[in-house]
Amino acid sequence: MFASISRFFKQADIPPEYHTTFRHLYYDIAWFGVLSGSVINFLSVYATRLGATSVQLGLIGAMSAVVNLFLAIPAGRWLSKRDTRRAIFWTSVFYRIGFLFFIFLPWWLDASAQVQAIIAITFLMAIPLTPLGVGFNALFAEAVPEQYRAHVAGTRNVMFALTYIFTSLLSGFILDRLPFPSGYQIVFGIGAFGAAMSSYHIYFVRPVQGDAPALPSAPQPASPQTAASPRRLSSALRLDILSSPFKRVLLALFAFHLTHNLTTPIYPQYNVRILELSDNTLGISQALYYLTMLIGSLQLRNVVHRLGHKRVTGWGVVGMSLYPLLLAFTQEVWQFYAIAFLGGFTWAWTNGAYANYMLERIPPEDRPSHLAWYTVVLNLAILVGSLGGSAIAAQIGLFGALILFGVLRILAGVYILKWG
């Protein structure tokens, strides 16, 4: 495995003019792994330990989606008129400043107010997150030629997994040995530093010369007769994209993201309240998950070469059904670890392939608008999934919800394979 990792970081077969940009893409995701293994990994667990209800846990995930649904299309139009690199850098900075506030919440507020503050901060962070989410895939496509995207995506997965594993284990160790909530404040501080470093490296990502679409000339003011016409409104919203072949890709990715996010408010409740797992156990399981994600990522380029991004995405989503289905029958800690170990493989392939599957079907000269519609679909899935998952679990129980959501993932994967 170590030989494979070493081979991943060699760039001998990549033209020298891409080396610097690719390295910064790797460092960006490595520091994002630090953020994810700390704050993002444990924020819902922290809220659960504060006494957050299932509805509040759903809202933590849903707040970003609400904002994104309203701002994604305007964000796409805004990005289409700007230097993508600079726009993504500054939106990443404004978004990630929000992680600093989580550190100080225990000093300022009681438990109930902290849960409400987490929801409010998540809502405000979603404003800059919208153009960041719309634009990063466009920046990636501009910075990485198509023939190297599988390699770069796989290497980014490896970098993410390495730093996530280390940070998740470290966070679990800290939380297991320090009193509540001091341990969480330290973990949130580690994540905030990782967020800042990730933004720093995004600044140095450069589009390939000649690949980035030229900025449009300044738009001419519309005449009073046409400013509010239905045709102009349709053009502004880019409704034509919904009549193009890209519509099938949007539906396929909606199915994937919906079934993925239905479980978001379920896992913290099941792990903490049903299985009664400690923070250290949760950290170890996440480390195992991303260890196997690392191993799976090492083979991503070969798998994609044989099957293509679409089929890898579809079969990956089918494989992701194993996690909720097996978790529903888990009673021992070793079983919980085994599920995490298996789940990392399927997520490595799905996560490494689905964005490139989408980018293959987007005209290079019109990426921001297509990605804006993808962002709408993504956040609609997050919104419906985060709130719907809680509502369904309240009606049929956590066990029944895990079984149902596992079956839905199988159906989503089949849909991608046949009609995506």
Give tens-digit pLDDT for 378-389.
878 888 888 888
**What are the residues whose beta carbons fall under 8 Å from the beta carbon of 13, sequence distance 6 or more?**
none
Domain 15-206+242-419 has CATH 1.20.272.10: no
Q: Report whether 314 contacts 413 (CB < 8 A).
A: yes
- Per-residue pLDDT band at 9 (split at 50, 70, 90): low
Whole-number pLDDT of residue 214: 40
| 399-408 pLDDT, tens digit each | 999 999 999 9
- Per-residue pLDDT band at 409 (split at 50, 70, 90): very high
Q: Report whether 25 contacts 156 (CB < 8 A).
A: yes
- Per-residue pLDDT band at 294 (split at 50, 70, 90): confident
- Per-residue pLDDT band at 7 (split at 50, 70, 90): low
Burial label for 55, CB within 10 Å (0-12, 13-18, 19+), is: middle
pTM exceeding the 0.75 threshold for the entire prediction: no
Is the confidence at residue 37, as pLDDT, over 80?
yes
**Distance in angstroms (rounded) separating the CA atoms of residues 357 and 360:** 5
Q: Report whether 293 contacts 161 (CB < 8 A).
A: yes
* Mean pLDDT calculated for residue range 72-94: 80
Supply the Cα-derived Rg of the chain in whole angstroms.
21
- Within 10 A of 277 (CB to CB), how many other CB atoms are there? 19
- Per-residue pLDDT band at 152 (split at 50, 70, 90): confident
Q: Which structure tokens are listed for 330?
A: 């888990």
Q: Which structure tokens are listed for 352?
A: 């490494």
| 181-235 pLDDT, tens digit each | 899 999 999 999 999 999 999 888 887 765 444 433 333 333 334 334 444 545 5
